[in-house]
Amino acid sequence: MRSKKHILFPKQQVLLEEFGNRIALARKRRRLTATQVAERAAIDRGTLRAIEQGSPSVSIGAFINVLKVLGLQNEITKLLEEDPVGRKLQDLRLMNKN
């Protein structure tokens, strides 16, 4: 089966690359090698390299496994802690019901 190519808009690709760079920096701050992190995350080094480079084809599960190894798995919940757009939409719907 051929792998599906994921296409992102340039700004989203930059965000993903920044995320990957932050993961690489977190690994280096902990003085862990790529091999150590990959083994502990149950992925191969190529997948870790793809994560650190911001590849959109890596599964979210692989990202989460790497974050767990780095002790950062709970940080992912902060992404949607606040949802200002969703809250505004909800408030508008509530206002329109009256």
Which tens digit of pLDDT belongs to each residue from 33-60? 999 999 999 999 999 999 999 999 999 9
pTM score, whole prediction: 0.81
User: Is the domain 10-96 a CATH 1.10.260.40 member?
Assistant: yes
* Domain spans in the chain, listed from the N-terminal domain onward: 10-96
Whether the pLDDT of residue 2 is over 70: the answer is no
Q: Which residues contact 34 (CB under 8 A, 6 or more apart)?
A: 27, 45, 48, 49, 52
Both tokens assigned to 37: 């992190």
Secondary structure class of 5 (helix, strand, coil): coil
Both tokens assigned to 33: 């090698």
Which tens digit of pLDDT belongs to each residue from 70-85? 999 998 888 778 888 8
